[in-house]
Amino acid sequence: MDCTIGIDVSTTGVKSILVSQDGGVLADSLVEYSFSSPKPGWAEQDPVEWYKATLESLKNLSQKSRSLMGNVVAIGITGQMHGSVFLDKDNKVIRPALLWNDQRTFKECTEIETKVDKSKLLEEVANPALTGFTLPKILWLKNNEPNNFIRLRKVLLPKDYVRFKLTGVYATDVADASGTLLFDVKNRKWSDFMLNTFDLHREWLPECFESPEIAGYLMKGAADYCGLKQDTPLIAGGGDQAAGGVGNGIVEKGLVSVTIGTSGVIFVSTEKPSVESGGKLHTFCHAIPGMWHVMGVTLSAAGSMKWFAEKIGPEVSGNSTNEPGKNVYQQIDAQTAEVVPGCEGLIFLPYLTGERTPYPDPSARGVFFGLTNRHGKPHMARAVMEGVAFSLKDCMNLVSSMNINIKKVMVSGGGAKSSLWKQITADILEKDLVTLNTTEGPAFGVAILGFVGTKVYKDVPTACKSMIKEVAVTKANYDNFGIYRKLYSIYANLYPALSPLFKEL
């Protein structure tokens, strides 16, 4: 049976999975790394570490399934979006990459909107200037590190740097390119207007492909190291959200995915490039040729729970928090399950790294609101879950305002492994949440694209129908709707009230 490999170059590590054409995940491998924060609001990684982790992950995968490596017909690649890899004329990395959640480019966003007003940006690139996007990062390099900017010869997105190292080809895809602020999303090509306006060279950017297209072939050195065939095709792939959309079966209009990963995402497929009037939702090309998607982003979703687990942690039982057979998140779930919906008046704003939707504000900060001496760690943990779900509701409300008919909602991401968090999210969104046969999201999505790019399946919807199965439904609990509607009305008023103080702080 034919197989593909899906690679996800994420913020926390590289995961590779081996997938059969019937949708089975035959093996997986994860190699983790960290990111640095040299200053508050900054987030950087060394691209070379991504490549090393990719090689190790593929090697591990090969060792687990050596007998199946000869059946691999294609490799798909996905990863964190928006990050900036700056290369010199010798293809050496000039400086650490600025990541999607890096907030240092506030002044550059102002510079962009001074030269191109918001309405013109929406017309040209379908999105406003946000700190996470790639163009502000290039301008930051120009404004703050001119000696490095002079050396610049190529700008690549994270997964595309790894692709270059594997294939020797400069390439990207329309979905990932959509998040650069340099891409004509409506016409699916680089924007000459934006390049000319900001005096950037077209040759700095890679060739752009539709996501299922073959964009390069595995070179001998990497193939030998990883135990794979030389010249195995690498398809163009997609940014993690579009790839995750494919992996969650969001391949026709009216289907929605809710992802509770490091960031939280509401993702909706559309048949045309629909732009939210205020530009609060992203409009990007989908990883499916001829389709687009709209997306709202909560910057710190499962990232908020990771922060809570590391900095505050579960309630201590005796002398240890180590309950047999349970990791820290399972312990938190178990201790939090007894807390009533609404956390007895405790609300959490999940703006630990600023916010994207509906408040594009790098100055926003995390807040526990309503603390009393009644509240303990379990209340705080549930408040984190509810606060993230309220932020996702902000995104879902914007989708509803665009008159998009929502037929079905799929849920995925690390946070969706918690049945409690899924139930909270279903109750706050007032939507049933469908769980699928895979939790691999983006990596699974590009594995699907690999089968399409090599003609095992004729198109993406056909592949998804064959490879993706619904396995469970979390039913929204009507009894909790009133509690959460009342609490959400308070939550929704907190950011407007605190916004001036965030900026002053």
* Residue 240 annotated as catalytic: yes
Give me the count of residues in the chain: 505
Asked if residues 85 and 93 have their Cβ atoms less than 8 Å apart, the reply is yes
Burial 45-72 (b: 16+ CB within 10 A, else e): bebebbbbbbbbbbbbbbeebeebbebb
Strands 255-260 and 408-412: parallel
Of the residues 28, 173, 176, 240, only one is catalytic, namely 240
Q: Where are the alpha helices (DSSP H) in 10-117?
A: 47-64, 106-115
3-class SS of residue 339:
coil
Termini Cα distance of the chain: 59
Q: Measuring CA to CA, which residue among 384, 273, 354, 358 is closest to residue 100?
A: 354
Let me know: does 100 contact 183? Beta carbons within 8 Å. Answer: no
Q: Quote the CA–CA distance of 77 and 14 in Å, as a whole number.
A: 10
The whole-angstrom separation of Cα 446 and Cα 179 is 18
199: Cα within 13 Å, side-chain hemisphere: 4
> Catalytic amino acids?
240
